[in-house]
Amino acid sequence: MSNSTHWKNAPRGPKPSYRPGIKEKEAKAHVRQAYLLSKRPQNLLTYTDGSMLDSKVGVGVHINPNGNQLASEKTHPLGTRVEVYDVELHGIRRAADCALRIFQLTSKRRDVRIFTDNQAAIRRVPTLAPGPSQETAITVSKASHALRALNNSTTTAQRVPGHTCVPGSEAADRLAKEATKEKPPTSTKTSLAYLKPMARSRMKEGWMQWWEPMPQKWSEYMGHFRVKLPDRPMEPILHCRPTENRPRLF
């Protein structure tokens, strides 16, 4: 994974252990870390989470209070045509946007800490390669560049164990659930991660339509299975993966 001077990922530790009580220990360590970070006015701590209820997804962003400032909470409903993976990345994007708006009102250097319980989203953000949620990764990169240019701020994404009574994480989870109950915007996007399972489903349906009428099925078949889907359903997916003029992290 490539890192830059202004976008950082928390160092990878040892492979997560699934022994009983390990998440609780990680949660206690994080609470202690967050307490120490919050003592420095230079740090801005944000928590994000995504949720899906009744096929509706939403994002919650919780910004920890700092000094005389009160906690800030945001909800973002995203409709029904995105996956939880997209939502978790969208939460990081919203947190970076909120930090940028806050920093534009001040001239002091601040360091942004974005905490989420989705490791896959954290690994996706620094990479701008074509694929699911590329647009979101590019948007986060632009916000990170803007923060760097504004007052030399850094942006760090770090995993926090979910559902372990970490106050900021629990607040973001509550907000994400509330977002799924809100009315989504009139204009919503369909993500590539959402389209992929649909393409696989159509491929399976096409294969079954060809296979079921076969009289002997497995008993005498000696070839390879190759299914051509009608109407080329993967074509629109391939066209929505831009590969040129992509901003890069340095």
Contact, 57 vs 175, CB < 8 A?
Answer: no
The CA distance from 99 to 63, in Å, is 9
Q: How confident is the model at residue 179 (pLDDT cuts 50, 70, 90)?
A: very high
Return the structure tokens found at 233.
């359903």
End-to-end CA distance of the chain: 12
Least confident of 16-25, 66-75, 167-176, 226-235: 226-235
d(Cα 103, Cα 205) in Å, to the nearest integer? 51
pLDDT, tens digit, 9 for 90 and up, residues 204-228: 888 788 777 776 655 555 555 554 4
**Superfamily for 1-250?**
Ribonuclease H-like superfamily/Ribonuclease H (3.30.420.10)
Mean pLDDT, range 86-112, rounded to an integer: 86
Q: How confident is the model at residue 19 (pLDDT cuts 50, 70, 90)?
A: low
Instruction: Give the model's pLDDT for residue 10.
Output: 53
Least confident residue range of 1-10, 29-38, 169-178: 1-10
pLDDT at residue 222 in the model: 52
Position 55: which residue type? S
In which band, very low, low, confident or very high, does the pLDDT at 163 lie, cut at 50, 70 and 90? confident
The DSSP annotation for 68-137 comes to TPPPEEEEEEEESSS-HHHHHHHHHHHHHHHHHHHHHT--S--EEEEEES-HHHHHHTT---SSTTHHHH
